[in-house]
Structure 1
Amino acid sequence: MKIEQMYTGCLAQGAYYIISNDEAAIIDPLRETRPYIERLEKDNVTLKYIFETHFHADFVSGHLDLSKKTKAAVVYGPTAKPEFEAIIAEDGQVFEVGALKIKVLHTPGHTLESSCFLLIDENGKEKALFSGDTLFLGDVGRPDLAQKAADMTQEELAGLLYDSLYNKILPLDDNITVYPAHGAGSACGKNMQKETADSLGNQKRTNYALNQKDRESFIKAVTDGLLPPPAYFGMNVAMNKKGYDSFDEVLANGLQALSPEEFEEAAEHYGALILDVRSNGDFAEGFIPQSVNIGLNGDFAPWVGALIVDVKQPILLVTNENEEEEAVTRLSRVGFDHVLGFLKGGFRAWRNSGKETDSVKRISALQFEKEIREKETKIIDVRKESEYQAEHVDGAYNRPLAYINEWIGLINPAEYFYLYCAGGYRSMMAASILQARGYRNFTEIDGGFGAIALTEVPTSDFVCPNKVMK
């Protein structure tokens, strides 16, 4: 028996590859199939089942492409209604993979079809629980995503989740290993631990949601402090339920190399968004006017989903050399399949062609310290509320990047301000969006709060993040 967790940090997502004898199963695969196909060929095994814990909201699963390429059956839990051929399992149904058995535990609450998969080894011992978005490490799945589809309130869904956890998961043996679908950083939960696997016994002791005195207190605990879900979630659910274009086709379309002239023409003809995925430092020094910067060197895909939202938006890419495939792949993971191509030769080719360029006014933290001493200033902190509450520049306003589309209209073009985040990644995203919408009345701070904290700039008293509301 072999269990391999295939963890993708950008999405904080765990897929699972299981083999026994000459058969294999994969749970919650990512969009691109090549890593799974390569493993199957290396191990000389046949993929028998593709198990889906639920209709994912935060990424597009690779279940359909993988099934077409391997002929493996796709398996969902009870009540799932996909618009393609799949096995809809019964609660308690057992599937055999080599000498192993995988038992379906229907655990509604996060969504109505949500299910966990209990692995039973060749000796009949329950060994592992693939818990999807029902049970995370330190948290449980948020119960507000399926309200519309289920025609239920988040409190009613939280009640279902309580029944699922307390009646089906908590009675299991403490020694079972829990393998969740997501970890810290995912928007599918609010209090996840940094670890990616744990014993069920330890979760029974440490997970706040598993230590509530009754159903009512559980409902209150898991619904308290939920932030609005990213707007692209519903579009990803629809793609996972209805189907999508082949990843191979999406990749081929996205890897069209365009000259500066072709690139400019495509942007105008298709109304394409120019997405520059270079580092924030490179972007600050020069970029194509109206570009939006979301760097590959961070939580790229989730930020694309949160800021661009519409998965059907045509996109043109500006990348570093040989990063085009990575960018298209990571975009496809969250359903952004309409990449028209990339700028051949990158930004250097654009600049060398003599076309118009733009830049962001960026200063060091030391220069920021000097400037705020000399004049009264307005400062905007685009970090999350919890980061801001933990510590911030005195007098700074908190305007989280995730909600920029809500607060950008409140900016007074005549009032100058400074902009920072934790290290420069998010503040440059904000800067690019501001300039694309015509705002020039700001300066962005290189290195963000991490650099500011090393200066004499006054800051608030530090509050331990554990005491800050999630």
Structure 2
Amino acid sequence: MFIKQLYTGCLSEAAYFIESEGVAAVIDPLRDIAPYLELARERNATIKYIFETHFHADFVSGHLDLAAATKADIVYGPETTTGFPVHIAADGEAFSIGKLVVQALHTPGHTMESTCYLLLDEQGQPHAVFTGDTLFVGDVGRPDLFSGNQSKEELAGYLFESLNSKIKTLPDNVIVYPAHGPGSACGKNLGPNTYSTIGDEKSSNYALLATSKEEFIRQVTEGLSAPPQYFPINAKINKEGYDALDMLMERSLRPLSIQDFKAKAKDGAVILDTRHANIFTEGFVPESISIGLEGRFAEWAGSLLPFDKPVILVTDPGQEQETIVRLARVGFDKVEGYLEGGFEAWKAAGEKIDLIISVDPDELAMDLPHDPNLVVIDVRKPAEYADGHIKDALNITLSEMTDPGSLADLEDNHNLYVHCQGGYRSVIACSVMKREGIHNLRNVNGGFAKMKDQKGLAVVQEKNVLN
């Protein structure tokens, strides 16, 4: 028996490769399928099944491309309808993988088609359960993402029944392999690990400790933040189908001369700069949005960029293909090329550039008492803000900035000092604000992590909220 978790940190996503006796299965694959094909070659195995736990909302699955490459069956659970051929598993249906058996457990709640897959070992004993977004480490899937006509309370009720009848009844030593780890927006507050056991979750997961259905529904539905804007788009793509990644790469991986780049920008294309945040601040093409590859790139791209407009890229040389693949993971299929030679070519040609002034926390501390127009903007999530923030700081979360009204209260005479926790999100925020015509701003280096210990900056706390 061979099991490998393939974890993608910037999406907090876990796919799985299972193999026995030269027969393999992949669970919840990403759109770039090369790692699964390589594992199959290494194991001298044939991929027979592609198991999908549900219609993912936070990434585009690789089920179609992987099936085309391997002729494997795509398997979904009951109550699934798709725009392409799949095998709809019956509740309890068993699938042979060499000497192993995978059993489908229909677990509606996160979505109605949500299905977990129980792996039985060579002796027919439960070994692991692949829970998708039904059960995480320390949390459960939120019931408000792709619910059709069901309310979040109704779905939470289904989830309670699924967990109690199908999951909590498994032996305590069964390994729990979820589809997501810490940082995922598919739950409220996932734990720090990417796998667990049934016993550990029964003893520590707040949702599994609920003593009644009513208590469970209240706990699971309260404190839910608005899901990222791209979640329903990705769920629809996964349900209806998409163009092959090779086809997308062919039309997207195109070098653009400076003149062609400028022409596309003038026609309304969004300029996305994926260089490191610290490099971006030193100089960039005006009106670029910074989302560096070093952070949670795909998540913020999906949350902030429009899906109905073309995108053109500025990247570090050699990072063009990686950028396009990572955008494709969250459903962007309108990339129209990249600036040939990158920002250095733009700069060498004498084109106009913009920059973001960055200051250290001590400079903010010196300016704050003497500037009545100084406004500190904290772009972190509400729960981060509540746990500790600079006194009188204005909390405008980065995800809110897609709404033009979120910046309406800022005045022309305000001197804006923008920060997050470490510096990544604040640079994104500064680039978004500059694109909206707000230029009197500074990025605070190191974010709140360095600001909280700076003499002269008062930190206050509020009652915490779930985010």
TM-score (norm 1): 0.96
CA distance in 2, matches of 1:414, 1:257: 41
CA distance in 2, matches of 1:12, 1:427: 21
Residue 457 of structure 1: CA displacement?
2.8
Residue 122 of structure 1: CA displacement?
1.2
**8 Å contact from structure 1 (residues 173, 200) kept in 2:** yes
Residue 462 of structure 1: CA displacement?
5.9
CA distance in 1, matches of 2:259, 2:427: 27
Residue 361 of structure 1: CA displacement?
2.3
CA distance in 2, matches of 1:118, 1:44: 24
> What is residue 388 of structure 1 aligned with on the other side?
385
Residue 468 of structure 1: CA displacement?
5.2
CA distance in 2, matches of 1:142, 1:469: 13
> What is residue 282 of structure 1 aligned with on the other side?
279
> What is residue 36 of structure 1 aligned with on the other side?
36
Residue 283 of structure 1: CA displacement?
1.1
CA distance in 2, matches of 1:127, 1:9: 25
Residue 395 of structure 1: CA displacement?
1.5
Residue 338 of structure 1: CA displacement?
1.3
CA distance in 1, matches of 2:456, 2:235: 45
CA distance in 1, matches of 2:348, 2:287: 18
> What is residue 369 of structure 1 aligned with on the other side?
365
Amino acid across the alignment from 1:374: H
Amino acid across the alignment from 2:206: Y
CA distance in 2, matches of 1:404, 1:83: 34
> What is residue 25 of structure 1 aligned with on the other side?
25
> What is residue 241 of structure 1 aligned with on the other side?
239
Residue 413 of structure 1: CA displacement?
2.6
CA distance in 1, matches of 2:453, 2:151: 47
Amino acid across the alignment from 2:40: L
1:376-425 Cα distance to aligned partner (Å, 9 max, x none): 32211111111111111112111111111331233223332221111211
> What is residue 6 of structure 1 aligned with on the other side?
6
**8 Å contact from structure 2 (residues 94, 103) kept in 1:** yes
CA distance in 2, matches of 1:320, 1:286: 13
> What is residue 264 of structure 1 aligned with on the other side?
262
Asked if 1:337 is matched to 2:333, the reply is yes
> What is residue 379 of structure 1 aligned with on the other side?
376
> What is residue 230 of structure 2 aligned with on the other side?
232
**8 Å contact from structure 1 (residues 381, 388) kept in 2:** yes
CA distance in 1, matches of 2:68, 2:376: 53
> What is residue 412 of structure 1 aligned with on the other side?
411
1:195-218 Cα distance to aligned partner (Å, 9 max, x none): 001111000000000011110000
**8 Å contact from structure 1 (residues 314, 338) kept in 2:** yes
Tell me the SS of whatever aligns to 2:41.
helix
1:1-37 Cα distance to aligned partner (Å, 9 max, x none): 1000000000000000000001000000000011111
CA distance in 1, matches of 2:453, 2:198: 42
Tell me the SS of whatever aligns to 2:109.
coil
CA distance in 1, matches of 2:34, 2:221: 38
Amino acid across the alignment from 2:322: E
Task: Count the aligned residue pairs.
Answer: 464
CA distance in 2, matches of 1:212, 1:291: 47
**8 Å contact from structure 2 (residues 365, 457) kept in 1:** no
**8 Å contact from structure 1 (residues 21, 98) kept in 2:** yes
**8 Å contact from structure 2 (residues 451, 457) kept in 1:** no
> What is residue 448 of structure 2 aligned with on the other side?
449
Amino acid across the alignment from 1:382: V
Tell me the SS of whatever aligns to 1:189.
coil
CA distance in 2, matches of 1:411, 1:250: 40
CA distance in 2, matches of 1:187, 1:335: 17
CA distance in 2, matches of 1:366, 1:295: 26
Tell me the SS of whatever aligns to 1:25.
strand
Amino acid across the alignment from 1:278: R
CA distance in 2, matches of 1:87, 1:312: 32
**8 Å contact from structure 1 (residues 312, 336) kept in 2:** no
**8 Å contact from structure 2 (residues 58, 186) kept in 1:** yes
Amino acid across the alignment from 2:413: A
CA distance in 2, matches of 1:70, 1:232: 29
CA distance in 2, matches of 1:461, 1:437: 30
Tell me the SS of whatever aligns to 1:267.
helix
Q: Where does the alignment leave 5 or more consecutive residues of structure 2 unmatched?
A: none
Tell me which moved more, 250-259 or 418-427: 250-259
Tell me the SS of whatever aligns to 1:285.
coil
Tell me which moved more, 202-211 or 274-283: 274-283
Tell me the SS of whatever aligns to 1:178.
strand
**8 Å contact from structure 1 (residues 154, 223) kept in 2:** yes
> What is residue 50 of structure 1 aligned with on the other side?
50
1:83-113 Cα distance to aligned partner (Å, 9 max, x none): 1010001001001111111000000010010
Asked if 1:273 is matched to 2:270, the reply is yes
Share of identical aligned residues, percent? 46
Residue 461 of structure 1: CA displacement?
4.5
CA distance in 2, matches of 1:118, 1:361: 53
* 1:159-198 equivalences in 2 (<5 Å): 159-198=157-196
Tell me which moved more, 290-299 or 411-420: 411-420
Tell me the SS of whatever aligns to 1:35.
helix
* 1:58-457 equivalences in 2 (<5 Å): 58-147=58-147, 149=148, 151-269=149-267, 271-308=268-305, 310-376=306-372, 377-406=374-403, 407-457=406-456
Residue 454 of structure 1: CA displacement?
3.7
Amino acid across the alignment from 2:188: K
Amino acid across the alignment from 2:392: G
1:288-323 Cα distance to aligned partner (Å, 9 max, x none): 111100111100000011111x33431111011111
**8 Å contact from structure 1 (residues 393, 457) kept in 2:** no
1:226-281 Cα distance to aligned partner (Å, 9 max, x none): 00111111110111011111111212222211121221122224x21000011121
CA distance in 2, matches of 1:224, 1:361: 40
CA distance in 2, matches of 1:40, 1:337: 28
**8 Å contact from structure 2 (residues 382, 465) kept in 1:** no
**8 Å contact from structure 1 (residues 31, 333) kept in 2:** yes
Residue 450 of structure 1: CA displacement?
2.0
RMSD of aligned alpha carbons: 1.4
**8 Å contact from structure 1 (residues 319, 342) kept in 2:** yes
TM-score (norm 2): 0.97
Amino acid across the alignment from 2:17: Y
CA distance in 2, matches of 1:217, 1:451: 39
